[in-house]
Amino acid sequence: MQPVVLHNSTFYNGDCITGAAEHIADNSVDLIITDPPYGINGDRLHQHYNRNEEFVVEGYVEIPRADYADFSIRWIKEAERVLRPGGSIYIVSGYTNLIDLLNALRKTSLKEINHIIWKYNFGVFTRRKYVSSHYHILYYEKPGGRRTFNLESRYGLHEKTGDGRSLNNFDREDVWIINREYKPGQVKNKNELPTRLLIKMIQYSSNEGELVGDLFLGGFSTAAVAIGLNRRVVGFEISQQIFDTKIPEIKTLTPGYLVPSLQNPAISMQKNFRKTWTDNDLRQLHEGYNKLRAEGISKKHIIARLGEELGRGRWSIEKALKKNGFSH
Ligand SMILES: C[S@@+](CC[C@H](N)C(=O)[O-])C[C@H]1O[C@@H](n2cnc3c(N)ncnc32)[C@H](O)[C@@H]1O
């Protein structure tokens, strides 16, 4: 499988299970966001209000229902292998075969962090039952390292709504109301994920320069957003038709193109900003440093952790470590 390399990202036209086994090293991916085929032949889940099916790209490869459980175990085990310890994985799924994904996840070391409900607009019209208008997002981590969760990447802890509620807390609730995108006249994949949804997962769970994986690229929306936020991507799409339609679109992107559209969070002041270090603070610093070092955690991560615990910035922690005889 020869990859296409664009914007520091690598795209393979082929099966993700054998492809990942051959091309992706253990523990090398920081974050996976993926949306596997749903295993529902002739499904209507992707249809929604006012959509002209003529513009849905042909070539989408489905998994027969009978193979879905085994298929889920095989790709999720590959995802587990390639994720770095502490790496996060978000799996988007409808309800029908959710059980197979949950069972597959239970056969791995991956640990559940949240079960997120993504509520979108305009479910498929029904007459004799309720209208389905949500997906499931299974947010898991690979244990063994510190998980990236950029708490104030979108809203500062002290930002409030007009009626005094915490915006940061609201943004981190596990029901996300994000509309699907209506792009009249544009060719798109079934179930293309909205940019806003992808931005949210990528901002909270990765940093610029890190590697984001998508085993089922489809409309390449995860890839496009990750590149737009200055992340690198590795991904697979089995359908040649889809792959060949989407690669030219990815080529036209400028890395970081989404960054100017992000709002700047009003980051809260650290609670001990500029305060003199007390003996108690120094003891906490000393003990925390030794404990985390003994756990094999990198200095960079120790500094971030101690900064959070002690309510101080990175420079302050570094300076105190140096002054108190730590090798940093
Ligand atoms: C639900 S779609 C992904 C949609 C994508 N997240 C988006 O926003 O456009 C699933 C994709 O997986 C592809 N696929 C199916 N089996 C695959 C496999 N074994 N390896 C890689 N891709 C596969 C399908 O052709 C389809 O395009």
- Say how far apart CA 138 and CA 249 lie, in whole Å: 29
Produce one character per residue of 20-54: b if its CB has 16 or more CB atoms within 10 Å, e if not: beeebeeeebbbbbbbbbbbbeeeebbebeebeee
Give the number of C-alpha atoms closer than 13 A to the C-alpha of residue 143, restricted to the C-beta side: 5
If you average pLDDT over residues 294-309, what whole number do you get?
Answer: 87
Residues 6+ away with beta carbon under 8 Å from 117? 134, 135, 136, 137, 174, 175, 176
* 45-59, 176-190, 287-301: range with lowest mean pLDDT: 45-59
Ligand 1 pocket residue status of 176, Cβ below 6 Å: no
If you average pLDDT over residues 28-54, what whole number do you get?
Answer: 68
pLDDT score for 269: 65
Q: What is the pTM of this model?
A: 0.81
Ligand 1 pocket residue status of 189, Cβ below 6 Å: yes
pLDDT score for 246: 96
Please give the number of the atom of ligand 1 that sits closest to the Cα of 16: 20
pLDDT score for 56: 52
Residue of minimum CA distance from atom 2 in ligand 1: 218
Ligand 1 pocket residue status of 94, Cβ below 6 Å: no
Tell me what percent of the residues of the chain surpass a pLDDT of 70. Answer: 91
Tell me what percent of the residues of the chain surpass a pLDDT of 90. Answer: 64
Please give the number of the atom of ligand 1 that sits closest to the Cα of 221: 8
Q: Check whether 43 has a pLDDT greater than 70.
A: no
How does residue 41 score in pLDDT terms, banded at 50, 70 and 90?
A: low
Ligand 1 pocket residue status of 242, Cβ below 6 Å: yes
Q: Check whether 170 has a pLDDT greater than 50.
A: yes
pLDDT digits (tens, 9 = 90+) for 14-23: 999 999 999 9
pLDDT score for 51: 41
Among 61, 136, 178, 186, the mutation site with the greatest number of ligand 1 atoms within 8 A of its Cβ is 61
pLDDT score for 58: 66
Ligand 1 pocket residue status of 219, Cβ below 6 Å: yes
pLDDT score for 50: 39
pLDDT digits (tens, 9 = 90+) for 102-155: 999 999 999 999 999 999 987 778 999 999 899 999 999 999 999 999 999 999
CA of 154 to the centre of ligand 1 (A): 29
pLDDT digits (tens, 9 = 90+) for 200-209: 999 999 999 9
pLDDT score for 49: 38
* 77-86, 190-199, 236-245: range with lowest mean pLDDT: 190-199
Ligand 1 pocket residue status of 198, Cβ below 6 Å: no
How does residue 327 score in pLDDT terms, banded at 50, 70 and 90?
A: low
